[in-house]
Amino acid sequence: MNKATNKSKVVVIGAGKVGATVAYTIMMNKLASEIVLLDVDRNKARGEALDISHGIAYFKQLTIRDGDYADCADADVIVLTAGIPRKPGQTRLDLARTNVAVTREIVSNVMKHADNPLFLVISNPVDVLTYVVQKESGLPASRVIGSGTTLDTGRFRYFLSQHCKVDVRDVHAYIIGEHGDNSVPVWSRASIASKPFDEYCEDCPRRCLKIYREHIFEQTRNAGTELIKFKGATFYGVALAVTRIIGAFMGDENSVFTVSSVLDGNYGISDVALSLPCILNRNGIDRYLDIRISDEERLQLQESANKLKAAIRDVYLPVVS
């Protein structure tokens, strides 16, 4: 945020369903005084911006408009949503080859205008593309952040709250690793209102079996696929999750989110982007919150990293070699 003028600016690249919903949610949460939508179809960006603008008379004075890459020069946050959306039956990694090419071109155009931008990557496969953005831009890993398992974590907490019949705000649990099939539920650190989940289960009269945990995680892992089957896309949930991340940036909050970034030795993992709990503020990732996880969860995290590295080798490294 420009403290001298008290103005704040977010650029959203991609004016599809996710990008437009993100812009709308940023506006509703009053996180920026200026929101700029960029899209290869400029008329689409203009139409979405106008649609939102026509309602600000009943909300709050701000500017929302279409723009071009020159607008990235003074942006507080650049949100990358552009890419081909996932289709029914398609995995996130199936998207990779096409979206890597799109992302490389976008980063090249942004870096022609922006000196030290803060990227927030949403496009899928988000971990692969977060890696690509960091390598192509040359920015510090702390300045290139993927939404990662932030939405997965929100889904996990929601399904736990439904099962346990408690307010979702009193559920504390994380999904780490890949945003996708190889995500890792951190059961060992889950809690209900500070009571460890294992203890909560012991005291619960329902005496749930282990199979219930497996079901809850399956619901979490398959939630995106289910939504795509039902309505063709998922955008409300991710827009709400991403807007909270942007709020942590703009408000200098030092809030904790499970976001994706290129790691350098965390849990023995390097040179791959995946999600861990991170403390976020106006500079991006301030530091990692290295929570103690079980040996089994550590092995699962390493497996998640290995599979992502293989995907990166397949879709990105041959292109730049």
Q: What is the pLDDT of residues 3-25, one digit of tens each?
A: 545 689 999 999 999 999 999 99
CB hemisphere CA count around 94 (13 angstroms):
8
Task: From the candidates 113, 172, 179, 215, give the one annotated as an active-site residue.
Answer: 179
**How far from chain centre, in Å, is Cα 23?**
15
pLDDT at residue number 4: 44
CATH topology of domain 9-146: Rossmann fold (3.40.50)
Give the amino acid at 296.
E
Contact 94, 29 (CB under 8 A): no
Contact 121, 153 (CB under 8 A): no
Could you say which architecture CATH assigns to the domain 150-320?
Alpha-Beta Complex (3.90)
157: its two tokens? 């907490």
Coil, strand or helix at 41 = coil
Alpha-carbon span 263 to 152, nearest angstrom: 19
**How far from chain centre, in Å, is Cα 311?**
19
Active site residue 179: yes
pLDDT at residue number 225: 87
How is the chain split into domains, by residue range?
9-146, 150-320
**Per 3-state DSSP, what percentage of the chain is helix, strand, and coil (rounded to 5)?**
50, 20, 30
pLDDT at residue number 18: 95
Across the chain, which has 321 residues, the per-10-residue mean pLDDT values are 72 96 96 97 97 92 96 98 75 75 96 97 95 97 98 97 94 96 95 91 73 90 91 92 97 98 97 98 96 97 96 78 42
DSSP 155-181: HHHHHHHHHHTS-GGGEE--EEE-SST
The structure's pTM equals 0.92
Query: Of 84, 67, 152, 72, which is closest to residue 117 (Cα–Cα)?
Result: 72
